[in-house]
Structure formats: structure tokens, C-alpha cells
A and B are shown apart, each in its own frame.
Chain A
Amino acid sequence: MRLLFSLLITALICSNAWAYPTYIRLNYTSCLSCHQSVEGGGPLTQYGKGIAYAESFLGGEYKPTTTKNWLNFYNKMEHSVEARMMALERLYDFNGKKTRIFPMQLDYTNVVKWQSNLRQEVTFAVGPNTSRLRGVDSVGSKNSSWFDRTYFRTFKLDYSFDKNLHLVVGGANLPLGLRLIDHTAYVRERNRLGVTDVPIQVQYLNLSKEWQQTYLVYSPNPTDGVSNREYGAATKQEYFPLTNLSLGAQALIAKGKSIDREILGMFSRFGKGPWALLAEMDYTKRHLVSSDTKFDQWTSILEGSYFFKDYLRSSLGFQTLRVNNPFKEKEELYTFNNEFKFSSHLSFILEYRQKSTDLLLEKMIFGQVFLNWW
């Protein structure tokens, strides 16, 4: 009851603009039609806002505003806010506490279009306050101030030579693999620091009807701790043999202060009618510099979705993590996810998760409310 009440309250006060890789079922191979950012995610284009309306339960036509005032820098600036409230229920007793309800994400994004081909995007994010969480993970954690929990999730300049060639300079998550919203997915371990992994990058993107090619080099974010600093280069190549099928591969090589790593991976997206299938598999090799120890692991995800309606989706997912060296470890995660897009601004996700390791079986239910304002 408390969980339901919290979800409703969040729904009343607060909307969602993450990338939907499953939209390939509607022949959208590129993120760029709906998202301003060439890598996907974040602020929506006018067309993306129209699709957000069309694909929601409330539906309707999006009417672009043409107001010019100082708030929107005379139509050059856009503001958006994304908020995510999460409720987590563990289906077993641990320390007498089973439920956590907490604000997961609060982002303010500011976009300035300096010219038709030059765009600046800054996202200022506030992370959750772990000390105020009601649940198992709050035990023993220290209070942290609002200021301590803020960081720049994105700060970048995007220059487009034409509609196919883009140069992006600045800080952002590495734009590799499937653009999954779930940052806890095993394949997203490439983001070493989770959502706060924001290296400084120079990206070159080449988009065409049949290819999307990304080449990037990166250096540490000045706010990274000394031991976390990493320099690297990566590439992602995605090929579209059909307008509803993508085949992709990626590679990353990085030198860190304490760990060097290499990643090789492949991924695919497919959709037909109400069906969508996402798959990714990555091989990661790490080298711990201080002790000359080598780590070696496989991560994968396979997710099948069925859209009962454009706004109502159910999916079954299977994820694996296998560590081969220096010790053997296996984790498997089964997910049953249901998403309901109520309006262009408000979405709900309810997910059941079952994680198993050699020693533990963990069952959880997640409830998430996403709110976007733009």
C-alpha cells in the first residue's frame, strides 16, 4: 500500500526521454529522429515529442510552441527535467527491512542551439541520498549533502558537418552497445562508475542508411579519483541489412591508473510488428596493474518484448555474467518487465527480477515512475 501510494504521489508531482532501442520494430534504426543527441537518449526533437504523444495511452497531437522569450533565449534554448522514483521490494527478509522507496534520478538538461549545426547540451544531475533511504542498503551509510550528490552527467558540444557526419566533444557516458536504460544491466559494466562514469570524449559519428559508425577517444573526467582515471579509445559499428534489423560490433581499449581493460562485443536489434528482440554479448579482459592479476569475463543480455498496445509492453529478459579468471563466478538474472506509457510525460515500469549466483537466489520487484517535463 505504501509502495502504491508513493508511486501515485510521484506520478502526480512529476515525465521520460530515454532511448528506445525496440523502436526498430517501427523501422526507426537511428535515435536521431527522436533525440537531439546523436547517440540517443536525453532531450527529444520536435518529431520525438510528436512520437511521445502518439505512443502514449492519452495520445493526441503535439503542438510545438513558438513562443520567443528570454527564458528560451529567443527560441535557441530548451530546458527539460527528468525525474525517476523507484520502489524496490525484496521478496525475503534481510535485517528486518524489505522495502526501499527513493528518488532515483533528478536531471535538469539545458540545450542551446548556437547555430543550426552547433548544439550544446548540459545535464546537471542529483543522485539519490542513500542515508535517507528506507531499506536495507541504508544501514550504516553516512548522510550526504545535496551538493555532494550533484554532478554533470553530460556537457558536450555537437557539431554536424551535414546530416550524416557529427563531431561531439565533451563529457558523457560511453555510447556503446545497446542503449539500455537499466544501468545495472551486466553489459553496462563497461561504465565502470555506473551513471557517474562521464569521461571526456571526442566522438566522430558517421550515419548513413545502412551504417552507424562511432569512433571515439577519451580521457578521465577531472572529478574522477586518481585511482579511477582511465584513457581509452573505442569504436562501435552498427549495420542495417534491413530496416528492422541491426547487427553491431564494438571494441574498447583503455589504460588506467590501476586497471587496464579491453572489451570486444556484439549486439543486435530486431523488430517485427508487435515483437522486438534485443541481444548483446561482451567479453572484457582486465589487468590489475599493481598485482599483475588478470580478470576475464563475459556478459550478455537477451530480451524479447511484445507490445500489446503502443503504450503497453511486456518483456522477458535473461542476463548472464561469467567470470573465468582469476576465479570462477556465475550470475544469472531473469527479468519480467512491464511498461505502461500513460502520457508523453509519464511512464510506469513494474519489473520482477530473479538473480541467482552459486550461493544465493535473490527475488525482487521494482516499481519505477518516470516523469519528464519539456
Chain B
Amino acid sequence: MKCLIASLLLSLSTLCSPVYSKVADYNGEVTFKSETNMPGVNIEGNSKVFRVLKAEFSDDNLSLKKIEAEIDAETLKTGIELRDHHMYEKVFYALSGNEKPALLKMVMDKSTCEKNGEKLNCSGIASFTFGKKNFTRKLELKFDNKLGTEVAFNVSLKELALEIPSYLGIELEDAVSVKMKASKR
């Protein structure tokens, strides 16, 4: 009987809790895009192994207390194996000090949120750790019951003290736009 009541209470609490607070319910994808010195040549890649480790909301669900996410850089693919190999070598191993491929981590523990119907729009300063480098970005996260959450920001290669990657005359632009998307399973 105790078990039954406990189960009932648990299922009721699940029903009442907002769906965007359930971390395990999210599947993530990261895409990135960079232009080059040549018109018509764009380097784009993605990874579907994007982990949302923690997403804590306030009890009234009106603010985001903390969100943590990470991605193994080696799961990022551009569509050409040789290009992936160059990217790991010139960017991700360089960022990790050639010990192991870099891990990109994002933590945002302070934010202000606004509820708009079923959506919750939060903004705050996120800290990123990419291998041995750190940087911060002001981010705007939009949580949606149906679509999950999405966030976009730019990374400067120079800011990460990286040499701009080039290959046989085609050179990347400094800015790399990154989009992280976590959608409901």
C-alpha cells in the first residue's frame, strides 16, 4: 500500500512538473558554420552527441537556476573525413594541448527569465571551457515545451589563440557560428 501511494505521488509530481525541467528528456545537436576567404565555400559540421547534463529551474518554473551541457569535439563531423581529421588536428588537439581531444563545456548559473505562454525565455552569461581555453558569452535560451531549447553564439578562433586553419589556399574566417539545440525525445 505504501508502495502504491508512493508511486501515485511520484506520478502526480511528474505530471505537475514542467517538461523542460526534465534533463533526461532532451536529445541534443550542435551545428557549426564558418565562411572562408573564397565565395561559395562554407564549412559546416554537426554532432548529434550533445549532452545536457543539468537543467535546474526554480520551484515556480519562472527562472533557470543552472544549465550544464557538454560535447566531445571528436564527434563533430563536416562531411569529408580528411577535413575532419584536419579539424581535430589543427583545432581540437591544439586546444587540449595535444593530450586528448578537447571537450566543449557550457555552464550558465545565473539568468533572468521571462515566461511567455508555454515558452520560457532566459538570458545570462555562460562560461565555456574548450580544452584548456575559457571564454564567456551572453546567451539567450528559449525553452519551449514542444521544441526544446535552442541557443546560438559565435566563437572567435583568435580569441582562443588558435592559428586560423587553412588548406591549400582556402582559409577559414575568424568567426565560427555555433548553434546548440536540445529537443524533446
Contacts and interface: CB of A to CB of B under 8 A. Distances in A.
Interface of A: 25-33, 45-47, 49-51, 53-55, 59, 61-62, 64, 163-164, 207-209, 212, 240, 243, 273, 310
Contacts of B37: 163
B175 to A, nearest CB: 14
A59 B82 contact: yes
Contact of B39 (A51, A55, A207): A207
Contacts of A51: 80
A168 to B, nearest CB: 16
Contacts of A31: 40
Contacts of A240: 40
A320 B5 CA distance: 70
B41 interface: yes
B90 to A, nearest CB: 13
Given A243-B33, A310-B80, A30 B168 contact: no
B82 A53 contact: yes
Chain B CB within 10 A, most for which of A27, A59, A62, A240: A27
A271 to B, nearest CB: 9
Contacts of B78: 26
Contact of A310 (B39, B41, B81, B167): B81
B79 A29 contact: no
Interface of B: 33, 35-44, 78-83, 167-170
Contacts of A32: 38-40
A59 B81 CA distance: 9
A212 B170 contact: no
A16 to B, nearest CB: 18
B41 A28 contact: yes
B171 to A, nearest CB: 10
A306 to B, nearest CB: 14
B151 to A, nearest CB: 21
Contact of A33 (B41, B44, B80, B83): B41
Contacts of B43: 27
Given A29-B40, A29-B41, A62-B168, 9 more contacts: A29-B42, A32-B38, A32-B40, A33-B170, A47-B167, A49-B168, A163-B37, A209-B35, A243-B33
Given A46-B169, A47-B169, A243-B33, A26 B80 contact: yes
Contacts of B168: 45-47, 49-50, 62, 64
B82 A30 contact: no
Contacts of B82: 50, 53-54, 59, 61
Contacts of A54: 80-83
A150 to B, nearest CB: 33
A37 to B, nearest CB: 14
A102 to B, nearest CB: 35
20 contacts: A26-B78, A26-B79, A29-B40, A29-B42, A30-B39, A30-B40, A33-B38, A47-B168, A50-B82, A50-B168, A55-B80, A62-B168, A163-B38, A209-B39, A209-B40, A243-B33, A243-B42, A243-B44, A273-B79, A310-B81
A129 B39 CA distance: 41
B167 A50 contact: yes
Contacts of B36: 33
B40 A212 contact: yes
A191 to B, nearest CB: 24
A237 to B, nearest CB: 15
